[in-house]
Amino acid sequence: MEYYSWILTFHVMSFMSWMAMLFYLPRLFVYHVEHSHKSEFVEVVKIQEYKIYKYIGLPAFWATLLSGAAMLIINPVLLETGTWLHAKIAVVALLTAYSFSLEYFRVQLEKDECERSGKFFRAYNEVPTMLSILIVGYVVVKTFSLLFTSITLGVFAFIVYIIMQQKEKKN
């Protein structure tokens, strides 16, 4: 337990770095898709997409995962503290799948094979916000609330609906 607080600090910082990539990379995808006719611009964006995923996102993901596992190894009693940790781990699993999906889209965009629109990536960009709100809520309150979870999902479903209703931008 001597090092638990330091590992927790590292975990929070790693999570923040991972989230920075999860928030920003889909935004780059929007620019990439909506400015696909500007080849010089797209080439710069491709470099940014690669670097933010490979040099920031992926290392931060592994640091988050490994430090979280280390905290559970050092303090396994956490697994007995209620459903909030299990809910957090489930949401982290969704966030992990989302993170790897970004690499899938990045590779498609790099090869100029992506058929997704800017509107799709705008809506897709809401996913990490929603999931991070759930994670932080569970951790801070130390409980799993079906009401909190339902309201969060409902609000973000409405936001995505609004985004999808907007007209495509023409450039």
Decide if 77 is inside a domain: yes
Q: Is 169 annotated as a binding residue?
A: no
What's the total number of domains in the chain?
1
Give the long-range contacts of residues 140-146, CB within 8 A, separation 24 or more.
Answer: 141/84, 142/81, 142/82, 142/84, 143/82, 143/83, 143/84, 144/82, 144/83, 144/84, 144/86, 144/87
Q: pLDDT tens for residues 50-78?
A: 999 999 999 999 999 999 999 999 999 98
Determine the structural domain holding residue 140 and report its residue range: 4-165
Please state the pTM of the whole predicted model. Answer: 0.91
Decide if 157 is inside a domain: yes
Q: Is 37 annotated as a binding residue?
A: no
Tokens of 74: 């050092």
Q: pLDDT tens for residues 112-168?
A: 999 999 999 999 999 999 999 999 999 999 999 999 999 999 999 999 999 999 886
Decide if 171 is inside a domain: no
Measured between alpha carbons, how far is residue 17 from residues 10, 20, 21, 58, 59 in Å? 11, 5, 7, 10, 9
